[in-house]
Structure 1
């Protein structure tokens, strides 16, 4: 009887262990040789391709580009009568009411259905970007609206099922590989639960007062509608009162599955999570671990980049709509866009060719890259005024790219009034430089079309091997005085032997004294884009 009792006790345990082995065998086989996140972070260094590339184009594009007005958070602000301090979205609700109707009847899910991307040609967009200087391409995989722009096995609200009926990320990835460029994706999905709360509200007054917005619709409500079979809850999330810890945890696990599929299926060289920390903590680290291990298997080294807004071991720092105030020891990236991240006709352009070049040169001189969001029309074409600016940037890079691509910073990033902390005309949001009191804020601290021009003495430095480049940010005819390049300067530039204009090899007249370098700038017709001079120093210290 005792033997029979033991057998009855042990058998279920054996079965349980066997099931555990079966369930984990596949994972163990795939991951048995993979490194942990801590091991990867310990050995990580930013790959040379990223450091050399310097300039990337970002297609921050999705269904929120469909409405012509209303800001870059249209999906949220269309449900809000009062957007508070987020004034960029103040037109969303009135525009939505006038254009589409009340959000109880026509919500953001219906805006998604309006997005057809009918003229989307990934190959043409990538070729245009490459022709105009981009060395890597980045595409939006999802925004705060919780809509995936790739063929997701774990999320029905995606661009293959709804809207364009196209694998946007897949088409971008294929075209980018064909053009022999590096490919990246961005995810902004971690805040969608709080971001979508207004979709569960209702008007406080008027004829629709108390009528719930479409966030409260159920799957059953879709019977006979275009969205039959889809559950609005999968897009907007559960109603705020239903968000138990268990449901929140399931949402995080779903995020993990979606993003593991994203980095495995499309094999990006770069991933940016729009947050200051890893998305959902360890879940975000697990996606990055998979990204890096995939790269390690593919390349023999970690050749991928993970970008975060906060400096964290094993990642590269991202600065949104701003730049670094100082020369950084480690590589980083600045990101900028033309309007509100999704193209809107009710907003003036924040950038033009001049400011893009200024932000690019600023970044490169301080050991960084620039990622430019080239906003698209809802049909997938480039707005004319944006296209025009990018072409000018491309023309400048064709002539002066030698001073940008593959370069490294010098011991100091430049010289000029702003670098020395002297008074310069500024506007709110302008990128500041090395003034101690101005080092605190870097995000949303960019040069824009409203920013006064640089002083004529502003220069930035880049190097490549033994070559030294002086970029004159706002050249004007006459004498340019650069204190940091004097023979007795603390940064020890050495003796200047020759100085030429990069674009035509023309020799530039100069006089180097102990306390400064004086350069005679030749004729500049009107307002000029930055001028690059190539210097040959004897005994310069790099």
Structure 2
């Protein structure tokens, strides 16, 4: 199959054998150059990967915390700083001029050099997240900026043991997670550096430095006498290639993000290096979960390295743990691909109970730390996070929540207050979240009747109506049903239509209803109209969401 045809059918369930003329073909590499995948029952083909079964630990965990933290947090100016600082006239460009100087003289490599992470205390942070109710913790292993945040054998110059903090961040996070009894995951984003950094090949079009190249095309020889002497900037920027098609926004929007629409296609060396770096990460740090910030898998469909990595992780898990305990996240999946890994929805939710477990990833602010949100009190509230968690769990999903970490490795006071409140809610209502499964229906009320549709990888978050006391969500555990009231009704009464006396979802009449937060039994009547529950007259335990235990 030719590359143009493969791109046209992006995301189709194609076996690795359909990719012989692309950079992905392992047998096209010189003998001894490519590492093999671990032996086992899984092969890098969809007909093999779709035999995957999601492990119970993930299905039961429901709530994970994420440190989406790297050198782009050093400027504390929000997302994609390493790219937008090269976009003449953008807010990030203007901020960069003021804080650091012109990107022809102070590029992103120099931001990395300035990043020290001197207040990073992984043990304290992960313990705090565990107290807040997290059952797994995910740390970013690299971003589109291409810096490995671990002791990377295949990115030997541009990793944090050699530049920036000069300490192994993934080792520190991993140790802290396991010391706190949490499952540990990593997120991998570096596959897109090839196109994401393309702006670094440019130059200002106006002003006193018009035409002076930014630093994206520098080579090792250009570093003589500078702090990065002996380092090859192309190991970071990967920009010695023609640009993507004009007007494609540098390969970061729409079809170009999926390696179509005229995106510059990575060469074989880039693809294999990415495979080796990521396999090294998996083998060295043994994560339970790997989140890929990619359509389907890294470099799909122009490479099979993502399928090789998935097969390797599954086989390795079986070999080292005696059973398949590994989770791989991917985005924008077709039905076969959803069976092959765990579907991730970015900043959004499904509008139905999904047959297969899934995950939504979101953040209380921007993915990378943005001081402006702190200054303007712009974070999501704990109430918004809790409502999202309940909604996602009711539909067979997990919530992975990022708390933006400052450049120095700390989190701010507002973030601590939000995380603390989430923990307070889970401490009182967690029985209805953890170890549960979807009930017969996921909910009732106006929000589900006017749900916002997903766009691309998700991105329907906050586009629907806000939750109120008129909205209900359900989970189940054995014969027990949990009903979440997404507010506190003013009249102290709630009617649950799905639990009416003639409900097709019930095998027995309801014997007891209690408020989980305080264990109080509640008065109720099961009528043909619904289960009518009378709530306590005094102050609600938690005004924005409470779980009823119905048995």
Taking structure 1 as the reference length, the TM-score comes to 0.86
In structure 2, the residue corresponding to 1:455 is in which secondary structure? coil
Instruction: Return the index of the structure with the highest Cα Rg.
Output: 1
Q: For residues 35-434 of structure 1, what are the structure 2 equivalents within 5 Å?
A: 35-38=42-45, 41-69=49-77, 71-82=78-89, 90-155=90-155, 156-241=157-242, 248-280=267-299, 281-311=303-333, 312=337, 313-347=339-373, 349-419=378-448, 421=449, 432=451
Verify the 8 A CA contact 1:510 1:518 in the aligned structure 2: yes
The alpha carbon displacement at 1:40 in A equals 5.0
- Unaligned residue ranges in structure 2 (runs of 5+): 1-29, 245-262
What RMSD over aligned residues (CA atoms) do the two structures have, in Å? 2.5
Find out whether 1:454 has 2:467 as its counterpart: yes
The alpha carbon displacement at 1:42 in A equals 4.0
Q: CA deviation digits over 1:194-219, x for unaligned, max 9?
A: 11111111111111011111112221
The alpha carbon displacement at 1:34 in A equals 5.8
Distance across 1 between alignment mates of 2:109 and 2:520: 59
Go from structure 1 to structure 2 and tell me whether the alpha carbon gap of 1:488 and 1:442 turns closer, same or farther (over 3 Å shift): farther
Distance across 2 between alignment mates of 1:26 and 1:308: 24
Distance across 2 between alignment mates of 1:495 and 1:41: 43
Q: 1:500 aligns with which of 493, 510, 514?
A: 514
Verify the 8 A CA contact 2:35 2:276 in the aligned structure 1: no
Q: CA deviation digits over 1:323-377, x for unaligned, max 9?
A: 1111111100011112220110223534220011011101111000000001111
Distance across 2 between alignment mates of 1:491 and 1:238: 59
Q: CA deviation digits over 1:10-65, x for unaligned, max 9?
A: xxxxxxxxxxxx9669978x845564234752431100000000000001000000
Find out whether 1:535 has 2:537 as its counterpart: no
Distance across 1 between alignment mates of 2:411 and 2:269: 39
In structure 2, the residue corresponding to 1:476 is in which secondary structure? coil
Q: CA deviation digits over 1:104-126, x for unaligned, max 9?
A: 11111100111101011111111
Q: CA deviation digits over 1:372-424, x for unaligned, max 9?
A: 001111111111111110011011111111111101110100111233x2x6x
The alpha carbon displacement at 1:493 in A equals 6.2
In structure 2, the residue corresponding to 1:378 is in which secondary structure? coil
Q: CA deviation digits over 1:81-139, x for unaligned, max 9?
A: 25xxxxxxx42011101111100111111001111010111111111111111100101
Distance across 2 between alignment mates of 1:477 and 1:524: 11
Distance across 1 between alignment mates of 2:203 and 2:152: 31
Q: CA deviation digits over 1:246-304, x for unaligned, max 9?
A: 97111111101101101111111001110112212311111111111110012222110
**In structure 2, what is the equivalent of residue 489 of structure 1?**
503
The alpha carbon displacement at 1:239 in A equals 3.0
Go from structure 1 to structure 2 and tell me whether the alpha carbon gap of 1:512 and 1:441 turns closer, same or farther (over 3 Å shift): farther
- Unaligned residue ranges in structure 1 (runs of 5+): 1-21, 83-89, 424-431, 537-542
Distance across 1 between alignment mates of 2:266 and 2:478: 55
The alpha carbon displacement at 1:314 in A equals 1.4
In structure 2, the residue corresponding to 1:184 is in which secondary structure? strand
Distance across 1 between alignment mates of 2:457 and 2:384: 16
**In structure 2, what is the equivalent of residue 444 of structure 1?**
459
Deviates more, 1:39-48 or 1:163-172: 39-48
Go from structure 1 to structure 2 and tell me whether the alpha carbon gap of 1:406 and 1:157 turns closer, same or farther (over 3 Å shift): same
Distance across 2 between alignment mates of 1:376 and 1:474: 30
Verify the 8 A CA contact 2:243 2:264 in the aligned structure 1: no
Deviates more, 1:316-325 or 1:36-45: 36-45
Deviates more, 1:32-41 or 1:333-342: 32-41
Distance across 2 between alignment mates of 1:47 and 1:177: 18
Go from structure 1 to structure 2 and tell me whether the alpha carbon gap of 1:392 and 1:493 turns closer, same or farther (over 3 Å shift): farther
Verify the 8 A CA contact 1:321 1:336 in the aligned structure 2: yes
Verify the 8 A CA contact 1:170 1:266 in the aligned structure 2: yes
Distance across 1 between alignment mates of 2:265 and 2:428: 58
Find out whether 1:468 has 2:481 as its counterpart: yes
Go from structure 1 to structure 2 and tell me whether the alpha carbon gap of 1:51 and 1:356 turns closer, same or farther (over 3 Å shift): same
**In structure 2, what is the equivalent of residue 429 of structure 1?**
none
Higher RCO (CA < 8 A, seq sep 6+): 2
Deviates more, 1:235-244 or 1:282-291: 235-244
The alignment covers a number of residue pairs equal to 491
Go from structure 1 to structure 2 and tell me whether the alpha carbon gap of 1:442 and 1:516 turns closer, same or farther (over 3 Å shift): farther
In structure 1, the residue corresponding to 2:225 is in which secondary structure? coil
Distance across 1 between alignment mates of 2:509 and 2:434: 26
Taking structure 2 as the reference length, the TM-score comes to 0.84
Verify the 8 A CA contact 1:453 1:474 in the aligned structure 2: no
